[in-house]
Structure 1
Amino acid sequence: MQIIQNRRSFLTSAAAAGVFGFLGTTEQALAEPGPETTSVRLPRWIGGAYCWAGLYLAGELLRAEGFTDVRYVQGDPKVDQSVWIAHGETDFSVNYAPVHVSSIEAGIPIKVLGGLHSGCLELIANDSVDSIKDLRGKRVGVFDLDSAGYVFVALMAGYVGLDPVNDIDWIIVPNDETMANSFVEGKFDAFLGQPPVVQVLRPKKIGHTILNSTIDPPWSQHFCCMISVTEDYVNRYPVATKRVLRAIFKSADLCASDPALVARQLVDRGFVPSYEIALQTLNDIRYDRWHDYDAEASLRFYALRMQETGMIRSSPKEIIANGTDWRFVNELRRELKT
């Protein structure tokens, strides 16, 4: 586990200072009790995770919320970040909705608090595949059969009537290989792309998109990435939890309103290496959706799909009852209504 404490000033330009001044502590926040703790640990994926912009920019806003110890933690890059929060390495997590469902099913003590954004996934294929139904008998690349890539493609296949287990040839890509390179080399016919892979392949016209979660229903009608917190943190520090969530949502609003500024800040703060990819990712993703998409509906949708395909045994009702806490997002929607 690596902890990164960014000591450089976040406000590196007059424009950034003005924007973040405008996004400062709200009247509601000033009227609330101070946070029960001034420390919080958030996940960071060094050199990547372009779609975590809403989380990364929350750091400076958290200082306005009364936090003095804001740490971005890099866990073991060989495992999903759901393992980091399960092991107590981070207090919060931003992850795909189905990953949260799997964690709740496994009894991991987390609470999903709300959705962050929609639309960061594209199913990319070669010329032999024109639609998801065409995946019958085709090869799909995944890192393993527990990965988010497998889960999403299996759910998409099941949704159109395919049997994910028997109709698709799943090709396991070794950890030391990149999914994009393996696709270019012809090792499989399709794979699920996420930032920055999609943004790199698109201008090179490598493969084509057969499903875009930004625009293709029903996937576009739900959050792809959602925010969770450990049960221990939310139970001990409910005011702090709300303040963290408020900072993330205000950061998400900035991602939607000024993607160029956000992309520059992500690079200047060392969270991602490429301004161009960061800007394209921010333009592709819908960070404004937290205001009007129903987080519970999204989690229910994925839990039902996962139950139908045998990935989980719990019902959507049980998943929601055991692993969610919507009180903060409901308050913040009223408070930060635009």
Structure 2
Amino acid sequence: MQISGSAARDALASGNLTVAIGFLSDWLLYYQNGEEVVSTLALHSGCASAATLADSDITKFEKGMRVGVSGDIGGVFHNIGLRFINHDGFSTEDFTWVALEPGTLLAALQEGQVDVIVASDELIYNFVEDGYAKVIRSQDYDPDFESEVCCSLGFNKDFVKNNPVTVYKITRAVYRASKWLAESEANREEAVDLLLDKQYISASKEMGVKLVNLLNYGFGTKELVATTNVIGQEYKDLGLLPADFDLSDAEEKFLVKYDLTKIQ
């Protein structure tokens, strides 16, 4: 089943899905509400960037800008945008945030409704490839983000409790696939061929290969825990999580930690 974003998270929480892939930065926020979702594996880095028009003088976030985010205010790309500006020394109030449908992002830039957009790499790099946009901030290769985990493997909490062996086997299989992707560009190209053959992606092969090569793979439990704590602390600083939110409690209840170091 192809489903993404908050819809995947909500389907996991309700039990309509057993396992899904999603943004760790999105799922962590909903842990505080008692959502029935847990993560078992860090998948890869990257996935989101900020961009402006290709011929713009803008090269970085600056106070007073209007920032368009793909999806909702409070959604994953808004939160990633908040992390970008937080790293650059700004506060939420320094910008005007505008929620945009993915299909309207480029038009909003071109018509001057916003100065910068934050969205998935798939969208951003298509705009870049077509000559319309340039990247000013990225989770893919900016030094302060490139070693972080973007997406994780998530399960319905009750399914994990009732099927621990199955959950481990699924996690192990996905981890092996991630290690395989990390081994070579040839492997990543083969993966793109498979995705195109199954019609799981609509991009060209050239774009697909470019996108998968932007990401880092082969992460395990260590990186999952580390990124959860980094994002959690930033969310507390930004006011997205309560100041007294217990990150150690979240780590114990939101993450299922496996020793994957000996898996080949």
TM-score between the two structures when normalised by the length of structure 2: 0.88
1:260-299 aligned at under 5 Å gives the runs 260-274=189-203, 275-288=205-218, 290-291=219-220, 294-299=223-228
1:322 matched to which residue of 2? 253
Distance 1:283 1:159 in 2: 25
String of CA shifts for 1:253-301, please: whole Å, max 9, x gaps: 333331111111101112112323222211111123x159621110000
Distance 1:103 1:176 in 2: 23
String of CA shifts for 1:7-32, please: whole Å, max 9, x gaps: xxxxxxxxxxxxxxxxxxxxxxxxxx
Equivalent pair of 1:303/1:319 in contact (CA under 8 Å): no
Amino acid across the alignment from 2:143: P
1:62-81 aligned at under 5 Å gives the runs 79-81=6-8
1:71-150 aligned at under 5 Å gives the runs 79-126=6-53, 127-132=56-61, 134=62, 136-142=63-69, 143-150=71-78
How far does residue 212 in structure 1 lie from its aligned partner after superposition? 1.9
Distance 1:151 1:259 in 2: 29
String of CA shifts for 1:97-155, please: whole Å, max 9, x gaps: 211211211110222212100022211124243223x1x10110122212111101112
How far does residue 318 in structure 1 lie from its aligned partner after superposition? 2.6
How far does residue 179 in structure 1 lie from its aligned partner after superposition? 2.1
Question: Kindly tell me: are residues 172 and 322 of structure 1, through their superposed partners in 2, closer, same or farther at Cα, counting changes over 3 Å?
Answer: same
Which runs of 5 or more structure 1 residues have no equivalent in the other structure? 5-43, 50-76
Amino acid across the alignment from 1:158: N
TM-score between the two structures when normalised by the length of structure 1: 0.70
Question: Kindly tell me: are residues 244 and 119 of structure 1, through their superposed partners in 2, closer, same or farther at Cα, counting changes over 3 Å?
Answer: same
Given candidates 118, 127, 136, the residue that maps to 1:210 is 136
1:12-51 aligned at under 5 Å gives the runs 44-45=2-3
Amino acid across the alignment from 2:128: R
Given candidates 98, 108, 121, the residue that maps to 1:182 is 108
Question: Kindly tell me: are residues 163 and 193 of structure 1, through their superposed partners in 2, closer, same or farther at Cα, counting changes over 3 Å?
Answer: same
How far does residue 158 in structure 1 lie from its aligned partner after superposition? 2.0
2:79 matched to which residue of 1? 151
2:236 matched to which residue of 1? 307
How far does residue 82 in structure 1 lie from its aligned partner after superposition? 1.3
How far does residue 320 in structure 1 lie from its aligned partner after superposition? 1.1
How far does residue 176 in structure 1 lie from its aligned partner after superposition? 7.6
1:163 is aligned to 2:91: yes
Equivalent pair of 1:199/1:280 in contact (CA under 8 Å): no
Distance 1:146 1:160 in 2: 20
2:165 matched to which residue of 1? 239
Equivalent pair of 1:307/1:315 in contact (CA under 8 Å): no
Distance 1:259 1:283 in 2: 7
2:122 matched to which residue of 1? 196
Distance 1:287 1:189 in 2: 32
Structure with the greater alpha carbon radius of gyration: 1
How far does residue 236 in structure 1 lie from its aligned partner after superposition? 0.8
1:22 matched to which residue of 2? none
Amino acid across the alignment from 1:205: G
Which segment drifts farther, 239-248 or 194-203? 194-203
Amino acid across the alignment from 1:185: E
Question: Kindly tell me: are residues 115 and 176 of structure 1, through their superposed partners in 2, closer, same or farther at Cα, counting changes over 3 Å?
Answer: closer
Equivalent pair of 1:139/1:168 in contact (CA under 8 Å): yes
Distance 1:243 1:176 in 2: 35
Equivalent pair of 1:303/1:315 in contact (CA under 8 Å): no
